[in-house]
Amino acid sequence: MSGKGTEALLKEIHVDPRDLDAIFITHEHKDHIHGAGILSRKYNIPIFANGETWETMADYLKKIDKNNIREFRIEEGFYFKDIYVEPVPVFHDAVNPNGYILKDDKFKISVVTDTGWINTQMQEQMKDSNIYFLESNHDVDMLKNGSYPWPLKQRVLSTRGHLSNENASELIKQLGKGSGEIIVLSHLSIDNNTPELAYKNMKKTLDEMGIELEIGAANLEVAPRYTTSKIYDFRRKK
Ligand SMILES: [Zn+2]
Ligand SMILES: [Zn+2]
């Protein structure tokens, strides 16, 4: 999103950009950092990223106030306010990409997109989350039969590309508990997936696991591409 685009969407959900505490970057690909520099300058917002990612994206973001350059090591968790932030290394064709596990004493959120592979360390870090904001990028058949040139198909399918609908299901087969967790399928390809297909695929997996959405054993959503996703307020539930 551009700075302007982000401002417009925040307005729709009645969030003042000045109230944002931080921007967390996962990797330097342009579609993930586009508006970050502008928002940071305009509203004095700190930007968090690991050292290698900072180095790679610094030129693109242009001048950032040095107080807003927040660098972390991918191997180390850290506190931001009362939230413990645990970077989770992912497999993607960027310099040093990471997802995030965000937790406090009661709640845990995993934000994992842009990864061609999930290893046991990642599973270990993600388990018992209240929210899995999880990539469900493509339907393998749609991708294979679609219009992408072959090298790009290979890139997406590789272990440094993106998680397919099937990959997302495999992960939830390992981690799903049916204890009310929220699964938000995200980073859907516009060419090689549809929200209906991604939803149907995960629903089938949950059905097979005996996790019934109807009784709230889990919640399943697809993050919309161009609008804001649902807001989850965990503080209120405490
Ligand atoms: Zn990327
Ligand atoms: Zn991406």
Q: What is the mean pLDDT of each run of 10 residues along the chain (238 residues)?
A: 95 95 98 97 98 98 98 98 97 98 95 97 97 98 96 95 98 97 97 98 98 96 93 68
Cα 162 to ligand 1 centre (Å): 8
- Residue 212 C-alpha to ligand 1 middle, in angstroms? 33
Any idea which ligand is nearest the CA of 28? 1
Q: pLDDT value at position 234?
A: 74
Ion ligand 2 nearby residues (CB, 5 A)? 114
- Looking at residue 237, its pLDDT comes to 54
- Which residue type occupies 189? S
What's the gap in Å between 21 CA and the centre of ligand 1? 24
53 Cα to the center of ligand 2, angstroms: 14
Q: How far is the CA of 94 from the centre of ligand 1 (A)?
A: 7
The predicted structure's pLDDT at residue 238: 46
Q: Which ligand is nearest to the CA of 225?
A: 2
Can you tell me the distance from the alpha carbon of 166 to that of 171, in angstroms, rounded to the nearest whole number?
9
DSSP tag of 133:
E
Helices (H), the chain: 3-12, 30-33, 36-43, 51-61, 120-126, 140-145, 150-157, 165-175, 195-209, 234-237
- The alpha carbon of 212 and the centre of ligand 2 are apart by a number of angstroms equal to 30
Distance of CA 43 from the midpoint of ligand 2 (Å): 25
**Predicted local confidence at residue 230, as pLDDT:** 87
Residue 78 CA to ligand 2 center (angstroms) comes to: 24
CA distances from 78 to 86, 103, 231 (A): 7, 11, 24
CA of 34 to the centre of ligand 2 (A): 12
Q: From the CA of 161, which ligand is nearest? A: 1
* Residue owning tokens 């990797």: 27
Q: What is the pLDDT of residue 236?
A: 55
CA of 199 to the centre of ligand 1 (A): 22
User: How many angstroms is it from 10 CA to the middle of ligand 2?
Assistant: 21
Shortest-distance ligand to the CA of residue 160: 1
